Structure 1
Amino acid sequence: MILSRGKTDSASSRNASGGTGSGLGVGRQARKTPAPASLEDFIIKRDYTGARAFLEFANDDEDEEEGAQGPKQSLVDQWIAFCNFHLGDYQQALAQYKAIQQGSSSPDGKLDLNLAVCMFYLGLYEEAQQLMANAADNPLKQRLLFHLAHKLGSEEEWSQLQEELQDSSSLEQQLSLASMHYMRAHYQEAIDVYKRVLVDNKEYQAINVYLALCFYKLDYYDMSQEVLDVYLSQHGDSTIAINLKACNRFRLFNGRVAEQEIKNIADNGTFGADLLRHNLVVFRNGEGALRVLPGLLNIIPEARLNLAIYYLKQGDVQEAHALMKELQPTSPHEYILKGVVHAALGQQLGSKEHIKTAQQNLHLVGSSATECDTIPGRQSMASAFFLYEQFEEVLVYMNSIRSYFVNDDVFNYNFAQAKCATGYYKEAEELLMQITDMDIKNQHTYCMILAKCHIHCGHPELAWNVFITRDTNAEAFILLQLIANECYKCAEFWVAAKAFDMLEKLDPSPENWEGKRGACAGVLFALCTKAQRGRPGGGISEVIGIIRDSSNSQAEAMIKTIRKHINNFK
């Protein structure tokens, strides 16, 4: 993004028609030579492995013949460092440039600049910044300062340099500006720059890859693949392009389809191997996450996010929070993930502070001008209102994107909760019955909501069945209380009586006896009035049987009263 990946001045002067790079690994078509015979041929073809081998071989020959030293040796060492840098071995390139600097008798601004660039790629931003005072003044220095200002948060300097790059007609400066738009999630602005550059420079085919990346970030996966195919038709072995194609496949289809695209190049030591290993974990739904992702935390930014997601799926909220607490979000998906982590932790710990942080992060995304009309933006706003317990507002946002999640169990689960909270029990019941994910169906909250919906939809026996299929524990006791009280409210007195009877056996408190007594009285009223609901299938004898099981002193008197008026209940 900040470097010229083309030839150095010495190489350019030998063949001006060869062209220069774009600052993003973009170059003109390599001229076809059956057997490269010079360093220039390797550099023009961007065959840096071949160039390094050529230099090392030539260097060995000269050492044997002449014992070459001095300026000539320094120049060869710089070319070797140059090749190592373009092969992605920044640490080796840095070590070589430092060795050259130590052997130099006078300050060299270009050498300082090369050192600073290596440090930048290694994440040593402050060290790189310290070298910039003595670095040679050229367009590369301007690009590097621009990106350092971004990394170090120097907004005033960043704004000034942005204006300078915007006014520049240099191709490399424009591409550097586009890359900054991309990093700041200003994808449409990046697209505008790339399209403008591509109009006059169609030979820079790799710009299609950068356009495809922007479309991918905007969720236009079909469009991303269409643009990407232009590049792949000429460079079918590009690791970065193949990886992006796999990511598009993952979004459009599934992980199995995506994996087919990269599995053959993931383990062959190719450039971008770390990225491919990372993405395979994602495509495989987290398989191997603990083995692969921790080692990539400081290499691939998304590794931290995906490891946090893995911990969330495993229910290890504390580990997810430990990964995310120091992260300062800069993009919508980072804000969303941080919000989700705080929401989960807040619910786990009962912490209002964490819930408030979650609300702020999610609301920020949902209300932003760039995200408010996107699917993630509306999901975020729905989630924020969910945490605010403003469920009517939740329904507004969820209804607007429902067509995209018809068969999504998680979406239907959340949608059902909002429907239930606002009294749309029939719709909530239908949504809950559509869910097939057993992890969701075994949740206590799912059982509570389903039971409540069954009761309010006139299916109290289904609610009772939900209870009897649960294990006997504290959560089952809470479910039983809900069934008892909701059935009583809805005049489903027989199921309420059974529930209060069970509660009294588990906890013979006055409250449970009073609930049972009232429910039984409701059953008697239903029998007298021949009501459609609240009546037992076995008649009055079932009511007497429940009351007789009570140890309360009022039970016998109630049975006597019922038998005295038993003819009224037949």
Structure 2
Amino acid sequence: MILSRTKPAVGGESPASISEKKKSKSKVPSLEEYLQQRDYLGALTLLEFKRSIGEKEEHADLWIGYCAFHLSDYKRAMEEYKSLTNKPDCPAQVWVFLACTLFFLGLYKEAEEAASNAPVSPLQNRLLFHLAHKFNDEKKLMGFHQNLEDVTEDQLSLASIHYMRSHYQEAIDVYKRLLLQNRDFLALNVYVALCYYKLDYYDVSQEVLAVYLQSMSDSTIALNLKACNHFRLYNGRAAEAELKNLIDISSCSFEFAKELIRHNLVVFRGGEGALQVLPPLIDVIPEARLNLVIYYLRQDDVQEAYNLIQDLVPTTPQEYILKGVVNAALGQEIGSRDHLKIAQQFFQSVGGSASECDTIPGRQCMASCFFLLGQFEDVLVYLTSVKGYFYNDDAFNFNFAQAKAALGNYKEAEEVFLLIQSDKIKNDYVYLSWLARCYIMNQKSRLAWELYLKMGTSSDSFSLLLLIANDCYKMGQFFYAAKAFDALEKLDPDSNYWEGKRGACVGVLQLILANKESKEKLKEVVPLLLNSGNPQVEYIVRVMRKWAKENRVLLS
């Protein structure tokens, strides 16, 4: 797309005037120098200055469009190229330049129309190749694919399509082949590093990226990728430290770089400023929508997350996974089996795909799919295969423990539940109920009762009380079953909880008689019985007091 700058010689000038021009040129860089240094802002400023003073520059309009395009000011570039197409002597290739600007503005239909007015060329074919991908037109995509040649530009275009279709290894193969042929194409290392990043090989990505940063230490894109690797390998603070040279975004020449840094700082800071930064970037940076959805999920605003993602047609594994998570969360919140079924299908699509089945996210997806289907043996198969990567991950441990408990592995489930540090999870009823059940099944009913005592009065505390009463009774831990049924009876005197309490209290006496329970427990059981107004109380208490008297147990 770079135009020729060859000019005819101009004669008739004196040696003095030539000397003066040489001096002026040494002070003000020429357009050629700006372009060679990739200083597109300087080149654009020079062109606009010459235009403002009426000084003619050959192909000035084309160069202004070119510089604006490379500064990511696609709207300005589009305006320049559109203006040129209205002129009778407009070069035919301007139509494909215009199409490129429209493509980057997301105006794909308009880009296709403009490209159709351009003469057949490799650039036009590459553009139409990318448009076919955007339109999900496989037939056209293959047609333009066949027109690609074994030249650098076409192969780079092919690699980018592989990347966007999540075929990262295929993209790496193309980039590495080009690197072998062109050792000085250092930027290809960035593309390779980005592919490794997408494959979750963050250490490898760092090693490849270091090759490029040795030569281009101030590259915005490379430093940003390095920061992202640090975020994955370490934490947000380490990632932000890597961006210290770019945080002063006013020094960045590229608007896209400014937006990218704003976006990533929100992610690195755990969502801080998400509502201010991310909404305007939704149509600029694809990940902005996804990260805003994640922000809403973390704020428990599931409906807002769903509203933001429901019309998104997923094309990448990350989009499929996030749509699955949102549908699962919404389905559980409103009790919708339809949303849960949609979530299960999204998870299965990723976990069952050839490209993702052996990746960590792919295995997590299959685990989620089987979790929703209630097939917990399969859940454990997949979660066990990746648990080494998630030892301190609270969300992973929560799901892992639930699956173990659902299969009756209560001892192991209890150990995993107790690894969880998140207060949000530990205050969730699902966590409390499963942990209480594990305690009871592991003969630790006192700990389950203490969980209840720490809860405030709510529908959840009532449900936990009911669980403790029934599970303790079932497991023959009658003392805490009696306490739980007593509390339930106080909350609802007209219910039949008396029958449960009566059976549990008698059960305590049986355990005492079998020397499996302390005699002192009888002191607490009798008052529980006396709390009830049932006529059977008098007889049961009389029997207990008689036994206590015979065995020298002092009752209050």
TM (normalized to structure 2)? 0.92
Query: Which structure has the higher relative contact order (CA within 8 Å, separation 6+)?
Result: 1
Instruction: Say whether 1:212 aligns with 2:193.
Output: yes
Q: Aligned letter for 1:462? A: L
Q: Which of the residues 514, 525, 549 maps onto 2:531?
A: 549
CA shift digits 1:27-52 (9 cap, x unpaired): xxxxxx98774322222222212222
Amino acid at match of 2:224: N
Alpha-carbon deviation of 1:413? Answer: 1.4
State how far apart, in whole Å, the 1-side matches of 2:525 and 2:26 are: 97
CA spacing shift, 1:130–1:432, aligned 2, 3 Å: same
For residue 283 of structure 1, what is the aligned residue in structure 2?
A: 268
Aligned residue number for residue 68 of structure 2: 84
1:309 alignment partner, one of 274, 278, 294:
294
2:37 aligns with 45
1:94 aligns with 2:78: yes
The CA deviation at 1:567 is 5.5
Residue 297 of structure 1 corresponds to 282
- Give yes or no for contact 1:366–1:377 (8 Å, CA) kept in 2: yes
Partner of 2:352: 367
| Aligned equivalents of 1:81, 1:191: Cα separation in 2 | 32
Aligned counterparts of 2:465 and 2:519: Cα–Cα separation in 1:
21
CA shift, 1:95, in A, is 1.0
Structure 1 counterpart SS, 2:278? helix
The match for 1:241 is 222
Q: What SS is found at the alignment partner of 1:369?
A: coil
Compared CA separation, residues 37 and 506, structure 1 to 2 (3 A):
closer
Q: Say whether the 8 Å CA contact 1:52–1:84 is kept in structure 2.
A: yes
Q: 1:567 to 1:200 in 2, by over 3 A?
A: same
Shift of 1:62: 4.5
Alignment partner of 1:434: what SS? coil
Question: TM-score scaled to structure 1, two decimals?
Answer: 0.90
For residue 387 of structure 1, report the CA deviation from its aligned partner. Answer: 0.8
Q: How far apart, in 2, do the equivalents of 1:34 and 1:471 lie?
A: 79
Q: Give the secondary structure class of the aligned counterpart of 2:194.
A: helix
Pick closer, same or farther for the CA change 1:529–1:39 going to 2, 3 Å.
same
Q: Deviations over 1:426-474 (max 9, x none)?
A: 1111111222211111111111111111111111111111111110111
The whole-number CA distance in structure 2 between the counterparts of 1:215 and 1:542 is: 65
- Which residue of structure 2 aligns with residue 131 of structure 1? 114
1:233-289, Cα deviation, whole Å (9 max, x unpaired) = 111111001100100111111100100111332333312110110000000000000
Instruction: Go from structure 1 to structure 2 and tell me whether the alpha carbon gap of 1:229 and 1:402 turns closer, same or farther (over 3 Å shift).
Output: same
1:493, 1:523 within 8 Å by CA — same for their partners in 2? yes
Structure 1: distance between partners of 2:6 and 2:433: 73
Q: 1:231 aligns with which of 212, 218, 232?
A: 212
Q: Deviations over 1:268-315 (max 9, x none)?
A: 331211011000000000000001000100000000000000000000
The residue type equivalent to 2:141 in the other structure is W
Alignment-mate amino acid for residue 180 of structure 1: I
Distance in structure 1 (CA, Å) of the matches to 2:407 and 2:397: 15
* SS of 2:386 mapped into structure 1: helix
The SS at the match of 2:226 is helix
The residue that corresponds to 2:131 in the other structure is 148
Deviation of 1:537 (Å): 6.0
Letter in 2 for 1:380: C
CA distance in 1 between counterparts of 2:7 and 2:99 reads 25
Which letter maps to 1:342? N
Q: 1:184 maps to what in 2?
A: 165
User: What's the CA shift for 1:59?
Assistant: 3.5
CA distances 1:96-127 after superposition (whole Å, capped 9, x unpaired): 1222222x124642121111111011000001
Counterpart residue number, 1:23: none
Asked if structure 2 preserves the Cα contact closer than 8 Å seen for 1:494 and 1:536, the reply is no
Comparing 258-267 with 141-150, which one deviates more in the overlay?
A: 258-267
User: Post-superposition shift, 1:566?
Assistant: 4.3
Question: Is the Cα contact below 8 Å between 2:473 and 2:481 reproduced in 1?
Answer: yes
Of 93, 116, 141, 1:110 maps to 93
Which residue matches 2:446?
461
**Aligned-partner residue type, residue 67 of structure 2:** C
Q: Which residue of the partner structure matches residue 398 of structure 1?
A: 383
Q: 1:160 aligns with which of 139, 143, 164?
A: 143
Other structure's SS at 1:274 match: helix
Query: 2:247 corresponds to which residue?
Result: 266
Residue number in structure 1 paired with 2:14: none
Report the CA distance between 1:539 and its aligned residue. 3.6
Judged with a 3 Å threshold, the aligned counterparts in structure 2 of structure 1 residues 568 and 458 are, in CA distance, closer, same or farther, namely farther
Q: Return the alpha-carbon distance in structure 2 between the equivalents of residues 369 and 123 of structure 1.
A: 30
Residue in structure 1 matched with residue 363 of structure 2 by the alignment: 378
Is the alpha carbon distance of 1:12 and 1:465 closer, same or farther for their aligned partners in structure 2, counting shifts above 3 Å? Answer: farther
CA separation in 1, counterparts of 2:518 and 2:490? 20
- Alignment match, 1:25: none
Contact kept, 8 Å, 2:84 with 2:90, in 1: the verdict is: no
1:470-509 to structure 2, matched below 5 A, reads 470-509=455-494
Contact 1:523–1:536 under 8 Å retained in 2:
no
Distance in 1 between residues matched to 2:196 and 2:7, nearest whole Å = 38
The answer to whether the aligner puts 1:55 opposite 2:47 as a matched pair is yes
Unpaired stretches in structure 1, ≥5 consecutive residues: 15-32
The 3-state SS of whatever aligns with 1:559 is: helix
Distance in structure 2 (CA, Å) of the matches to 1:161 and 1:225: 34
Distance 1:335 1:568 in 2: 71
In angstroms, what is the RMSD of aligned CA positions? 1.9
Identical-pair percentage: 53
1:324-362, Cα deviation, whole Å (9 max, x unpaired)? 101111111111111000000000000000000010011
Summarize the Cα distance change of 1:383–1:34 in structure 2 as closer, same or farther, 3 Å threshold. Answer: farther
SS for the counterpart of 2:382 is helix
Partner SS for 1:109:
coil
Render the CA deviation track for 1:10-65: whole Å, top value 9, x for unaligned: 14899xxxxxxxxxxxxxxxxxx9877432222222221222223233334544xx
Q: Rate the CA distance shift 1:163–1:450 in 2: closer, same or farther, 3 A.
A: same
Q: Distance in 2 between matches of 1:358 and 1:13?
A: 63
Aligned-pair distance for 1:78?
1.5
Mapped partners of 1:121, 1:364: distance in 2:
30
